[in-house]
Amino acid sequence: MIGQRAITSRLIDSLQVDVTKIRELLGWRKCVSEGLRQTARCFQGFDLDPVAQSA
């Protein structure tokens, strides 16, 4: 298993994707802040405290 772990690490640990071409072709740009805002809105009102749920 250790050998497989080393091989996997070599393959994916430094994986970086260059999105320059797709950004140019499609006019795409990532919008992380809007995605985080939408996620936060989705979770508003949920009680995410597992201790409170089991009481």
Handedness of CA 4, 18, 36, 46 (dihedral sign): negative
> pLDDT tens-digit profile of 3-36?
788 888 887 777 777 888 888 898 877 777 777 8
Question: By CB neighbour count within 10 A (0-12 exposed, 13-18 middle, 19+ buried), where does 20 fall?
Answer: exposed
For residues 2 and 22, give the distance between their C-alpha atoms in angstroms, rounded to a whole number: 37
Task: Report residue 55 CA to chain centroid gap.
Answer: 32
pLDDT at 54: 58
pLDDT at 1: 57
CA distances from 10 to 7, 16, 27 (A): 5, 13, 32
